[in-house]
Structure 1
Amino acid sequence: MHPNTEVSIMSTPECKYCPLTVDVVVQSSNGDRFGAHSKNLEFFTDAFPVTGSTLPPQNGEVVELSESSEIIHFMLAFTHNLPPPNVTALELGTLLVLGEAMKKYGMYLAIEESRMSR
């Protein structure tokens, strides 16, 4: 998702939000892996595809992100054509970190939805 991310080879997890085929795997800073979809990431973020990249990763490659599992969970929930996740119960510190991550990856619809829910 970010030009400075590292890529490694691992097995492909399923998407927790829909039955679409997973073609991108992201890994949190604490090692949890999440299945994602390049088309959704391209549509809902400004970070995919990375200019000049060969994304989506091939052969089980994993894109390692600096964000925690909790933050990636919420970010990926915002990349589906589903009702947005409820962020009202998040602690302020977590919400601020989520907001920074959403800005980092250009998730403008998610940022606006989060603002409206507070």
Structure 2
Amino acid sequence: MLTLGIVPSTFTIGHLPATAFPEDDEWIALVRAPEGLTVVREADPWTAADRWTGFYGEAHGLDVPGVLSGLLTPLAAAGIEVFVASTFHADLVLVPERLQDDAVKALESAGYRIQRPS
């Protein structure tokens, strides 16, 4: 089964309506849609904004079917909301920081190995 690492940083997810590009380059991921721009950033440690924990798996490439579905199924069954940013090599699955322990339990119960930051 896949090993997932918990990303040491926490993240925030924001929406910028009718914006072509953020004014800064402090973002991790950008997704442009007709209704605006979704921006994933590393969370400011002094801000009490909603924070998200990231799980990132081993590289698997684009030709391996079912990897993301395998991660999302146990999280959905546990009632945990997610935000996903996919890369060429793997998927960054974000869960609300307050649900991190529940997400770890759900993923471990599904057979995933979780590596916590040291």
TM-score band, normalised by shorter chain: under 0.3
TM-score by length of 1: 0.28
User: Which one has the largest radius of gyration?
Assistant: 2
More helix as a share of residues: 1
The higher-RCO structure (CA 8 Å, 6+ apart) is 2
